[in-house]
Structure 1
Amino acid sequence: MQRYPIYKGLEQPLSYRGLKGKYIGWGIGSLVCGLFAGGIIGAVSNLYIGVFLTTLLSGGGFGYTLYRQKKGLYNKKRDQGLFVHQNNLKI
């Protein structure tokens, strides 16, 4: 049987312009949602208000994405204390 080497990657999360892993999608989503909401508001009311809100919403969403990434790529709850799991099996 012939063996072939398997490339397992770099074993690091995907990274693009400082965003890592799932936060790449979060960043793109926040920019698109800010652009969409600002465009709708600009079309309904005033162009300058729409441009201002587009930059405000996109920047705020992207800032929130960077804030969440700084807390950790795989942030989990870390409850402190002693936890007792009762045994419910009857033999």
Structure 2
Amino acid sequence: MQGNYNGYPVFKGLQRPLEFMGIRGRFLSYAAGAIGMSFIGFIVFSILIGKLAGFIAMIVLAIAGLITIYVKQRSGLHAKRHDRGIFVYQGLYNH
């Protein structure tokens, strides 16, 4: 959406939530990290054991990372931890 403010174009940002291949918002950076870690796992396992083991490790790490992302994403994009109980903060206003 583009507006106009004193002759200057003003862009209001995305009108829909950011999504790529079913992965939404902040989980896109997690997916990039999971894929990056799978490539690092491929390199490490291919050096230590062999190329087939590296390929298997890459597939397993990528699938595990993406499954973890999809499970966390189901709880909500802005899911936060909710502590239960009464918390007393002492000494906040000592002068």
Q: TM-score range by the shorter chain?
A: 0.7 to 0.9
Aligned residues: 90
Gaps of 5+ in 2: none
User: Quick one: which of 77, 80, 84 aligns to 2:81?
Assistant: 77
Give % identity: 25
Which runs of structure 2 are paired with 1:26-45 in the superposition (5 Å)? 26-45=30-49
- Residue number in structure 2 paired with 1:47: 51
**TM-score normalized with structure 2 length:** 0.71
Q: CA deviation at 1:80?
A: 4.3
Q: Specify every segment of 5 or more residues in structure 1 that has no aligned partner in the other structure, as ranges.
A: none
Measured after TM superposition, the shift of residue 73 of structure 1 is 1.0
Matched residues in 1 for 2:43 and 2:72: separation?
Answer: 26
For each residue in 1:28-71, what CA deviation from the matched residue of structure 2 results, as whole angstroms up to 9, or x when unmatched?
Answer: 11011111112211122122111111100111011111111111
1:58 matched residue in structure 2: 62
The 3 A distance-change label for structure 1 pair 89 and 64 is: closer
More strand per residue: 2
SS at match of 1:6: strand
Matches within 5 A, 1:6-25: 6-25=10-29
For the residues of structure 2 that align with 1:45 and 1:15, how far apart are their CA atoms? 37
Distance in 2 between residues matched to 1:83 and 1:45, nearest whole Å = 51
Alignment root-mean-square deviation, CA: 2.7
